[in-house]
């Protein structure tokens, strides 16, 4: 939400008995949180308006979804409450696994995506990859224009 990918800053609101249990495992969950970022986010939350962020992410999602219609990739369900859009890639390849497709798209076409199977314990191949639309508008537009011409 705050465009700080990689910093892994978060917060938890829960009853004290659950917080105590969480603290036992916290060292294994977030072992390198950035203190300056935590202080900055805490201060920013005093003035942050989530509706502004929501409207901005919806606008970016809509740009992404409009432009992807011009490619062979298929959006079956519009993302809600996320900064990732899941896309079916089978019109591009019937034989590649989602991992192979993601690697190919990222390495050969220079447009990054992640295989959906990476998020499941089974690691079973799927027909889907996910793209982030939490990017500058120009990057979203350029990437999808490139895919329209090169897939």
pLDDT classification of 3: cutoffs 50, 70, 90: low
Sequence-separated (6 or more) residues with CB below 8 Å from residue 13:
none
Q: How far is CA 91 from CA 46, 52, 87, 118, 143, in A?
A: 46, 36, 11, 21, 18
Using the predicted structure, report yes or no on whether residue 27 has a pLDDT greater than 70: no
Lowest mean pLDDT among 15-29, 60-74, 116-130: 15-29
pLDDT in tens, 86-141: 999 999 999 999 999 999 999 999 999 999 999 887 778 899 999 999 999 999 99
Confidence class for position 18, pLDDT limits 50, 70, 90: confident
Q: Is the pLDDT of residue 1 over 90?
A: no
What size, in residues, is the chain? 151
Q: What is the phi/psi pair of residue 76, to 5°?
A: -90, -30
Distance CA 37, CA 34 (A): 5
CB-based contact 71:110 (threshold 8 Å): no
- The pLDDT value given to residue 79: 95
| DSSP-assigned beta bridge partners for residue 130 | 86, 114
């Amino acid at each position: 939400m705050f465009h700080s990918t990689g910093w892994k800053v978060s917060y938890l609101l829960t009853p004290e008995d659950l917080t105590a249990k969480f603290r036992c495992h916290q060292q294994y969950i977030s072992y390198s949180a950035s203190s300056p970022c935590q202080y900055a986010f805490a201060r920013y939350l005093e003035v942050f308006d989530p509706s502004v962020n929501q409207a901005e992410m919806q606008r970016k999602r809509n740009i992404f979804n409009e432009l992807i219609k011009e490619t062979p990739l298929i959006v079956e369900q519009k993302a809600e409450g996320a900064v990732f859009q899941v896309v079916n890639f089978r019109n591009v390849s019937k034989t590649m696994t989602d991992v192979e497709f993601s690697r190919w798209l990222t390495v050969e076409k220079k447009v990054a995506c992640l295989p959906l199977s990476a998020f499941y314990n089974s690691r079973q191949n799927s027909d889907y990859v996910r793209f982030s639309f939490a990017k500058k508008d120009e990057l979203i537009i350029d990437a999808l224009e490139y895919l329209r011409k090169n897939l």
